[in-house]
Amino acid sequence: MALRLMPLPACVVRAAAGAAVAFAVAGNPTVATAEVPYQVTFSKIESGELAKLMAEVSELETLRDRPPPSLIALRRRADGDMERLRQVLRSEGYYGGTLSYEIGEAAPSFLESTINSFESDDDERPVSKARTEVRISVDPGKRYQIGTVKVLADDPAQQEIVADIGSRAHGLKGGGRARAERFVGAQRRVVDWLARRGYPLATMKAPNIVVDHATRKVSAEFIVDVGPLVRFGPATVGGTETVDDAVIERRITWSENELFDSRKLRDTRDALNATGLFASVTISHADRPEADGTLPVRILVEEDQLRSIGAGAQFSTSEGFGGKVFWEHRNMLGEGERFRAEGVAAEIRQSAEATLRIPDFLRFDQTLALTTAAERERPEAFDADRISGSAVVERQFGNIYAASAGLSLEWAQIEEDIDRDELLLFGVPVVLKRDSADDLLNPTKGGRLQVSATPYVDFLLPERQFLVLRGSNTFYAALDDERRYVFSARGIVGSILGESRQEVPVDKRFFAGGGDTIRGYAFQAVGPLDSDDDPIGGRSLVAGSVEFRTRLFGNFGAVAFLDGGNVYRDIVPDLTEEFRFGTGLGFRYFTPVGPLRVDVAVPLNRRDSDDAFQFYISLGQAF
């Protein structure tokens, strides 16, 4: 029997030849694969934001330092870029844009032409970096707008449930910019809208998106499986070890059998995180309701470290060195009681303080703070020794508002020049706060407003009665999206009513100057002075500061600031008196805890008693 060989197709022959060449290269380490260095140029794009996005997703750009082994591989890389760049165009609302590319070579030199004339025109031939260029042409076209948007129930019987879902709910308003991410976000918002109204099991089907190139509009039909209407079922708690489950249960913001509202899961999670007791909080619901129409909820927590110890230090030319240590237990008695003991040792002040904070006092959003302290102060203005105690009830109103009121009792011996005074002051401190700042030690947006009023009566001299009023407002604004540049401003006012300046205990009077008010002046040195140029304090205060903060590079930053203000003898500031201004520069090193602050300031209208400059080091921004 004769065996007849059939001719192989040409494509098989070429594949076999290619495989043989690849095998020969792999088997011979002396044969190296050449690379094709290249450069990329984009046609001019009017939108700088669009140009930036395209450069970020382009593999031709991001992999430019890793050139491909051949022109064919370079074309494959460019082909892949075309689809990625089309996705960018659609994501920004340019559905009719066009893209193309070409790979070109500069005219070779005479020597290269002579050599190349003996070689085949093969795409696998490497080309030098200077002679390979990928030119990408982008014509975004007109930006498309949002057309009609409909939300339809997968079950027509439930269409009435979704009938009220309009642009305010899904966020797609006709005529708006038709960015792809807005349509994706709209689907999530529709599901969230239903979850807040008793339908947490709603799911979104694949939407119908229609691009009309004639009108340049993008319309959408969102199909949603609404699911059953459910109520909150029983909540179970897991993960607790030393924290009593009652701490968690008191912070559950819904009641069993109440109509399900997903926002209450979030509010409960925020309330639990705010206790500082848990490293993580996860709240989830069952995949299907019980027979009675309720949906069980599971709260799973992981307890955080409940004890901590810390220390800090600061320095200024007028106050000298100072240090602080503290120890804290955040679950002292098992129900989230927070105990903190703190000691301060500085050149002009030494103190010891202990505070026990009892949460859920009388109601869940209320805290009782019990504090006792002993203190010794030796600034230029006076010498004071104190023992004090206070009981203050604090209540939170929403996320940013808080108020507190309480009672305080303070025994003190105060010496001013040759006068010595013994006091037993009973006070009723009342404080209102609004805090929307995004960070405690390094805020970049929001603000802090605080108003306080404390009436005092001296039990040892009952006719001595006075009221201390003080208010401060701070504002923070980031000047760019990355928050590298921040503008901040602060204003402080105060007044003491009811007694003459001499009858108000010197340590309760207003003082200004130093690292926390008017930099450039010594601690408490701004305001009226006695014959020895020592500060005597006043009954009213006006002060303000502005800062421009910037991150320079890495963890390093800089600050330019201007502070100003004065202290006055009378209860109403005499604004005809000269303000004291100080200015300077600061440097910041941003640590995981907060920025390390180094400020150097000079007084702009310096008096004979003022030093030429002041120097401050501490943790955290000045305000």
- Token output for 339: 């105990």
Confidence check: pLDDT of 296 > 60: yes
pLDDT at 284: 96
SS3 call for 18: helix
Instruction: Classify residue 610 as exposed, middle or buried by CB count within 10 Å of its CB (0-12, 13-18, 19+).
Output: buried
85, 72 Cβ separation under 8 angstroms = no
SS3 call for 167: helix
Predicted model pTM: 0.71
Instruction: Give the CA diameter of the chain.
Output: 134
Mean pLDDT along residues 264-281: 94
pLDDT at 24: 37
Beta-bridge mates of residue 175: none
Residue 46 DSSP class = S
pLDDT at 2: 38
pLDDT at 472: 98
pLDDT at 391: 98
Mean pLDDT along residues 446-456: 98
| Dihedral, CA of residue 21, residue 25, residue 28 and residue 32, to nearest 10 | 140
pLDDT at 15: 39
CA distance linking residue 84 with residue 99, whole number of Å: 11
Residue with token string 């190139």 = 213
- The DSSP secondary structure of 513-569, one letter per residue, reads -STTSSTTS-TT-BS-B-TTS-B--BSEEEEEEEEEEEEEETTEEEEEEEEEEEEES
SS3 call for 308: strand
Query: pLDDT exceeding 90 applies to what percent of the chain?
Result: 77
Confidence check: pLDDT of 428 > 60: yes
Domains parsed from the chain with CATH numbers: 19-106+126-139 (3.10.20.310), 145-225 (3.10.20.310), 231-303 (3.10.20.310), 384-393+400-619 (2.40.160.50)
SS3 call for 267: helix
Mean pLDDT along residues 368-391: 96
Confidence check: pLDDT of 6 > 70: no
Confidence class for position 16, pLDDT limits 50, 70, 90: very low
- Token output for 493: 């006012």
CA distance linking residue 261 with residue 273, whole number of Å: 20
pLDDT at 34: 66
pLDDT at 500: 94
C-alpha distances in angstroms, 255 versus 259, 294, 397?
9, 12, 20
pLDDT at 27: 41
Mean pLDDT along residues 273-293: 94
Mean pLDDT along residues 68-73: 91
- Give the number of other Cβ atoms within 10 Å of residue 85's Cβ: 22
Residues 300-312 pLDDT 10s: 999 999 999 999 9
Residues 165-193 pLDDT 10s: 988 889 898 888 898 889 999 999 999 99
pLDDT at 14: 38
- Token output for 616: 């401050």
Residue with token string 């120097």 = 615
Mean pLDDT along residues 425-453: 97
CA distance linking residue 611 with residue 522, whole number of Å: 7
Residues 76-100 pLDDT 10s: 999 999 999 999 998 899 998 999 9
- Token output for 415: 């010496």
Q: Which of 614, 415, 412, 456 is nearest to 526 (CA)?
A: 614
453, 469 Cβ separation under 8 angstroms = yes
- Give the number of other Cβ atoms within 10 Å of residue 540's Cβ: 23
Mean pLDDT along residues 417-436: 95
Residues 546-572 pLDDT 10s: 999 999 999 999 999 999 999 999 999
Confidence check: pLDDT of 120 > 60: no
Beta-bridge mates of residue 412: 386, 423
Confidence check: pLDDT of 121 > 60: no
Confidence class for position 318, pLDDT limits 50, 70, 90: confident
Confidence class for position 398, pLDDT limits 50, 70, 90: confident
pLDDT at 7: 41
Confidence check: pLDDT of 23 > 60: no
Confidence check: pLDDT of 414 > 90: yes
Average pLDDT for the chain: 89
Confidence class for position 19, pLDDT limits 50, 70, 90: very low
Confidence class for position 430, pLDDT limits 50, 70, 90: very high
- The DSSP secondary structure of 173-208, one letter per residue, reads -TTSB--HHHHHHHHHHHHHHHHTTT-TT-EE---E
CA distance linking residue 357 with residue 367, whole number of Å: 7
Q: Which amino acid is at 331?
A: N
Residues 180-236 pLDDT 10s: 889 999 999 999 999 999 999 999 999 999 999 999 999 999 999 999 999 999 999
CA distance linking residue 360 with residue 368, whole number of Å: 8
Confidence class for position 108, pLDDT limits 50, 70, 90: low
Tally helices (H) and strands (E) across the chain. Answer: 10, 27
